[in-house]
Amino acid sequence: MCHLRLSNVSKRFGTQEVIRDLDLSIEDGAFVVFVGPSGCGKSTLLRLIAGLEDASAGTIEIDDEDVTQLPPARRGLSMVFQSYALYPHMTVRANIAFPLRMAGLDKAAVDRKVTEAARVLNLTDYLSRKPRQLSGGQRQRVAIGRAIVREPKAFLFDEPLSNLDAALRVNMRLEISELHHQLGTTMIYVTHDQIEAMTMADTIVVLNKGVVEQVGSPMELYRRPANLFVAGFIGSPR
Ligand code: ADP
Ligand code: MG
């Protein structure tokens, strides 16, 4: 089943064309990583999918519905921001519950969903703490928890680990992969880090200057890079 489809999508900021006539299909349940150098358009592409930017041209479909004109809240996707996007004055419980309270769910339903998310993310013992009383990894898990409770059709991650230290980053990669395994929900994950892409993705989309250079599994990209850009980018150490 094709889950997410972009057809001839372009995005201009002024005269600069940041995404150029891009076609892409993403299967239901996939773990897809958008990788490419800084400034190549990864965040813009993710924000177009989320509905946080309007496409200049082209269409975006989710489950065969044209969502190109729909606002973010009606696309059924959850974007995971970096952990510093947590509300510092709220407890972990209140942070995770926030999107559900905004959506008007009753307290019992909110509590049930928050408890379940906390269990999945090993945050049960930390629900009454404030973000500043947590480690970087725990804070990142709270940010993910806030996305999980909305039961999205897909999770969108934009470099969620870039402000964590190296050891923690490795840990969180494993945790996010494990979460994908448990939930089975489509995840689209943006990074400029080749190692993150190679270790986490089942499908990698290599972007360069707003175009897709290659789509394939980590092994396909490694064994049969489509061009020198892919070979250089995937092969080079950071
Ligand atoms: P990446 O996430 O791959 O680093 P971005 O998608 O953030 O790249 O940016 C791609 C290009 O679009 C960059 O040249 C950036 O300066 C430009 N850009 C991104 N957002 C805006 C914006 N809101 N207004 C103008 N230019 C933007
Ligand atoms: Mg970016």
Going by alpha carbons, the residue nearest to atom 27 of ligand 1 is 13
**Residue of 2, 100, 6, 1 lying closest to 53 (CA atoms):** 6
Give ipTM to 2 decimals. 0.98
Report whether pLDDT(17) > 60.
yes
- Indicate the burial class of 156 (C-beta count within 10 angstroms; 0-12, 13-18, 19 or more): buried
pLDDT at 2: 55
Q: Kindly state the average pLDDT of the residues 204-217.
A: 97
Instruction: Work out the pLDDT band at 162, boundaries 50, 70, 90.
Output: confident
Instruction: Work out the pLDDT band at 10, boundaries 50, 70, 90.
Output: very high
Report whether pLDDT(138) > 60.
yes
82 phi, psi to nearest 5 deg: -65, 160
Q: Kindly state the average pLDDT of the residues 33-57.
A: 97
Ligand lying closest to the C-alpha of residue 207: 1
Report whether pLDDT(166) > 60.
yes
> Which residues, listed in sequence order, are joined to residue 2 by a DSSP beta bridge?
27
100 Cα to the center of ligand 2, angstroms: 27
Going by alpha carbons, the residue nearest to atom 12 of ligand 1 is 18
Q: In sequence order, what are the residues at sequence separation of 6 or more whose Cβ sits closer than 8 angstroms to the Cβ of residue 165?
A: 136
The model's pLDDT over 72-95, given as tens digits with 9 standing for 90+, comes to: 989 999 998 776 689 999 999 999
pLDDT at 238: 46
